[in-house]
């Protein structure tokens, strides 16, 4: 592919070209073309230019973007509606993220679509989403009755929101991150105060973020101030978590690190990116605001 073709491709797949912020006609017949992929690499290039350590082909983390869909419905062969909760796991090393409004429109397009059964639906979802993401997407479908896997639980570890800190930064400020001592600890810290903004519409996105690490003890006040510093930052959920992971890795140098952000639901979808230095999989735990 030539340089000009690559530029045109990225412009076509830029967030501004998506359905975000536009009046939309809702389609209720299956249409895979509604999915709008956005390449991950331009944002990773941006982080690399800031010397934070994310380079193409040399990701410093493993992970997934876990999406939970609570408004999935279709028709069976006799025209009777069926419903389910769906869980989608998109690998962090896939080529693209999938823009959330297009994801919602795509799922809505099954509303008046007749399918032979749940297996056909799962196969279609995995095929379409894998093609859009440029990586293998795993799909789970859950009955609403007895869906214990998505019951609300408490975050693990210690909440740091009660710390009495003074805040003066509302854009990501990695210099706030520091180690408190050389004492090696293993702990999980979490905060409900993460807020970022959609880079297209400017709408706020709210999340609980969990940070688990082994390494020198991290200063909790600085960590909380750093989390709050995303409050006026414009980025997609996945990109915020990657920035957090890289900033913590660079500034605090933990031996092991996992960052998980569980964002609140919008349009029946919640997005939960996690990035880890070594963890092969993550339990899909739903928090109280989800």
Residue positions annotated with a catalytic role: 198, 205
CB 11 within 8 A of CB 3: no
| 189 in Cβ contact with 234 (< 8 Å) | no
Identify the DSSP state of 150.
Answer: G
Q: Which string of DSSP letters, residue by residue, matches 116-149?
A: S-HHHHHHHHHHHHHHHHTS--EEEEE-STT-GG
Tokens representing residue 177 in the block: 């991150």
Phi, psi (rounded to 5 degrees) for 249:
-65, -45
Using CA atoms, how far apart are residues 139 and 80, in angstroms rounded to an integer? Answer: 23
Report the DSSP pairing between strands 158-159 and 179-197.
parallel
Residues paired with 263 in a beta bridge: 207
Q: Output the CA–CA distances (angstroms, integers) from residue 131 to 25, 67, 134, 267, 285, in the order listed.
A: 24, 16, 5, 23, 27
DSSP letter at 25?
A: P
Rounded Cα–Cα distance for residues 196 and 236 (Å): 8
Tokens of 153: 């639980």
166 three-state secondary structure: coil
Give the containing element (helix H, strand E) for 7.
helix 3-12
């Amino acid at each position: 592919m030539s340089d000009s073709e690559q530029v045109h491709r990225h412009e076509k797949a830029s967030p501004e070209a998506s359905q975000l912020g536009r009046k939309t006609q809702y389609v209720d017949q299956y249409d895979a073309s509604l999915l709008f992929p956005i390449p991950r690499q331009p944002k990773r290039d941006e982080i690399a230019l800031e010397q934070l350590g994310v380079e193409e082909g040399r990701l410093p983390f493993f992970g997934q973007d876990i999406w939970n869909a609570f408004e999935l419905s279709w028709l069976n062969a006799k025209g009777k509606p069926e419903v389910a909760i769906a869980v989608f796991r998109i690998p962090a090393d896939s080529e693209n993220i999938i823009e959330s409004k297009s994801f919602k429109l795509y799922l809505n397009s099954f509303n008046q679509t007749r399918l032979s059964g749940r297996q056909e639906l799962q196969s279609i979802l995995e095929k379409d989403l894998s093609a859009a993401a440029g990586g293998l997407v795993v799909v789970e479908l859950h009955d609403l009755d007895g869906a214990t896997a998505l019951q609300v639980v408490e975050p693990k570890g210690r909440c740091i929101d009660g710390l009495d800190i003074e805040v003066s930064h509302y854009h990501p400020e990695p210099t706030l991150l520091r180690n408190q001592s050389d004492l090696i600890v293993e702990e999980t810290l979490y905060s409900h105060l993460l807020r970022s903004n959609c880079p297209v519409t400017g709408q706020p996105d709210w999340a609980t973020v969990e940070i688990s690490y082994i390494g020198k003890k991290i200063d909790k006040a600085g960590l909380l101030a750093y989390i709050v510093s995303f409050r006026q930052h414009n980025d997609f959920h996945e990109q915020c978590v990657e920035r957090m992971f890289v900033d913590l890795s660079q500034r605090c140098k933990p031996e092991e690190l996992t960052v998980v952000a569980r964002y609140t639901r919008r349009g029946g979808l919640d997005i939960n990116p996690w990035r880890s230095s070594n963890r092969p999989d993550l339990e899909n735990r739903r928090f109280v605001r989800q």
